[in-house]
A and B are shown apart, each in its own frame.
Chain A
Amino acid sequence: MMLTDENKKYLLTGNEACAEAAIQAGCRFYYGYPITPQNEILTHMAIRMPQVGGTCIQVESELAAINMVHGSAAAGARTMTSSSGPGISLKQEGISYLAGSELPCVIVNVQRGGPGLGDISPSQADYFQAVKGGGHGDYYTIVLAPGSVQEAADLVYDAFDLADTYRSPVMILGDAQLGQMMEAVVFNKKCEPDSFKKEWALTGANRRKRNIVKSFFSVQGELEEFNAKLQEKFNLIKSKEVRYEEINTENADIVIVAYGTCARICKEVIMKNKLPDIKVGLLRPITLWPYPSQIIQEIAGKVQAILTVEMSAGQMVEDVKLSVLGRCPVHFYGRTGGGIPSPKDIIKKITEIISLKENTTCMT
Chain B
Amino acid sequence: MEAVYKTPDTLIDTPTHYCPGCGHGVIHRLIAEIIDEKKIKGDTIGIAPVGCAVLAYNYLDIDMCEAAHGRPPAVATGIKRVHPNKVIFSYQGDGDLAAIGLAEIMHTANRGENITVIFVNNAVYGMTNGQMAPTTLLNQKTLTTPQGRSAQNDGAPLRICELLSVLDGSQFVARASVTSPKNIIRTKQLIEKGFETQIQKKGFSLIEVLSPCPVYWRMNSVDSIKFIDEEMVKTFPLGIFKDWEGQN
Contacts and interface: CB of A to CB of B under 8 A. Distances in A.
Interface in B80-108: 80-83, 86, 103-104, 106-107
A200 to B, nearest CB: 10
B221 interface: no
Interface stretch (B65-73, B135-143, B178-186): B65-73
Interface stretch (A119-127, A139-147, A170-178, A212-220): A212-220
A190 interface: no
Contacts of A317: none
Interface stretch (B20-28, B38-46, B147-155): B38-46
B64 interface: yes
Interface string A74-103: 111101000000000000011001000100
Interface string A55-86: 10101110111011111111111010000000
Contacts of A210: 61-64
Contacts of A31: 78
Given A75-B83, A204-B63, A61 B103 contact: yes
Contacts, number: 131
A294 to B, nearest CB: 36
A67 B75 contact: yes
B64 A202 contact: yes
A59 B107 contact: yes
Given A72-B79, A77-B82, A212-B57, A67 B74 contact: yes
A204 B75 CA distance: 15
B77 interface: yes
A93 B68 contact: yes
**Range, interface on chain B:** 35 or more
A206 interface: yes
B58 to A, nearest CB: 9
Nearest to B48: A214
Interface in B12-62: 41-45, 47-48, 54-55, 57, 61-62
Given A204-B43, A212-B63, A70 B75 contact: yes
Contact of B42 (A55, A71, A206): A206
A89 to B, nearest CB: 15
Interface string A197-213: 00000111111001111
A212 B64 contact: yes
A29 interface: yes
Contacts of B67: 67, 70, 97
A65 B104 CA distance: 10
A188 B107 CA distance: 38
Nearest to A68: B78
A76 B68 contact: no
Contacts of A203: 45, 63, 83, 86
Contact of B68 (A67, A72, A218): A67
B81 A205 contact: no
Given A29-B81, A55-B81, A204 B68 contact: no
Given A72-B81, A213-B66, 11 more contacts: A60-B106, A64-B71, A65-B74, A67-B67, A67-B104, A68-B75, A70-B74, A77-B82, A204-B44, A212-B66, A215-B66
Interface of B: 41-45, 47-48, 54-55, 57, 61-68, 71, 74-83, 86, 103-104, 106-107, 111
- Of all A-B residue pairs in the complex, the 4 with the closest CB atoms, nearest first, are A71-B78, A206-B42, A67-B74, A75-B82
Interface of A: 29, 31, 55, 57, 59-61, 63-65, 67-77, 79, 93-94, 97, 101, 202-207, 210-216, 218
25 contacts: A59-B107, A60-B107, A61-B103, A63-B104, A67-B71, A70-B74, A71-B47, A71-B77, A71-B80, A74-B78, A75-B79, A97-B68, A202-B79, A203-B63, A204-B62, A204-B63, A204-B86, A207-B42, A211-B63, A212-B63, A212-B65, A214-B65, A214-B66, A215-B66, A216-B66
